[in-house]
Amino acid sequence: MVRLRTRAPAKVNLVLRVGASRPDGFHDLETLLVPLDLADRVEVDVSSRRGEVSCRCPGRPELDGRDNLAARAALALRRRLGRGEAVAIRVTKEIPVTAGLGGGSSDAAAVLRCLARAWRVRDVSLLAEVALEVGSDVPFFLGRGPAWAEGRGERLRRARVRPRVLLLAYPRSEALAIRAGEAYRWLDAARPGRPPRRERPRADRPENDLMEPCLSRRPALRALAGWLEEVGAAAPIMSGSGPTFFGRFATRGAAVEAAKALSGREVGGAGVEAIVARTVTRMPGVSSWKSPRSASSR
């Protein structure tokens, strides 16, 4: 038995430009992705014997099972390598689900990184192919840190981004959740034809092509941007396909005070969760571990 663990960071899109729909049903993207210190904890047990892939998310039973992106990543890599060892995955969620913060994709990449170490997979291109098979954001989380992503998200180039303190505002309501596929369909409906050419995007100029189409379908979310601006956040904007909004602060202390000011507010009949996070420049590493149970049984 090999036991490995790592952290799976959330991300925000500082820039998200969406091109035309492609024949494969996806869209060409130009996006600046930045990881955060907000992260899930991922633990992977790899057996030496053949068996099944399982995935558990304590406290979130609806996320258990082989449909979880983390389990799908393990299944895809096993299939590609022709392996059949049992893999048990445990994900402790800290990143809000269906929030535009990439939690599921990050969990999948974390599992790939753990299995690559356990099975001594050094073929980076193979891992990238498996990652893209699982999801468009997954290749980014296999990388080293902030990056511009193009194509479906598979063409990556490193980006230098100044450290930032962010305040994330997320509505705790399933009614306001937005699936990525929905967001892109709404954009296509609002913007028929090819999008116009634009000047080169800049890291210091936040933009998100999905924001207005999503706000037109979820108008209650406009309050989040307004409240962030009200408490002092700079350039509030939606992350990914939403519904999370974020804005910048000069210091962590200022962001913490702003988070307190948002506590108790409601949007669409649901409470708002305010999370202070920092951008990070490097992805977490993978380490071996022993659970308290296994240590006490020796």
List, for residues 165-211, the tens digit of each pLDDT value.
999 999 998 899 999 999 999 999 998 777 777 888 998 899 999 99
Per domain, the residue ranges of the chain are 2-160, 165-278
Instruction: Tell me which of 40, 107, 137, 209 is the catalytic residue.
Output: 137
Q: Active-site residue 11, yes or no? A: yes
Q: Which fold has domain 165-278?
A: Alpha-Beta Plaits (3.30.70)
Look at the pTM and tell me if it is higher than 0.85: yes
Catalytic-residue membership of 290: no
Q: Which of 11, 40, 45, 107 is catalytic?
A: 11
pLDDT for the residue numbered 196: 73
Q: Is the pLDDT of residue 292 over 80?
A: no
Quote the CA–CA distance of 78 and 53 in Å, as a whole number.
10
8 Å CB contact between 132 and 154: yes
The pLDDT confidence band at residue 27, using thresholds 50, 70 and 90, is: very high
User: How many Cβ atoms are within 10 Å of 109's Cβ, its own excluded?
Assistant: 31
User: Is 265 within 8 Å of 173 (Cβ atoms)?
Assistant: no
Alpha-carbon distances of 261 from 53, 96, 144, 270, 277, rounded to whole Å? 44, 20, 35, 16, 16
CATH architecture for segment(s) 2-160:
2-Layer Sandwich (3.30)
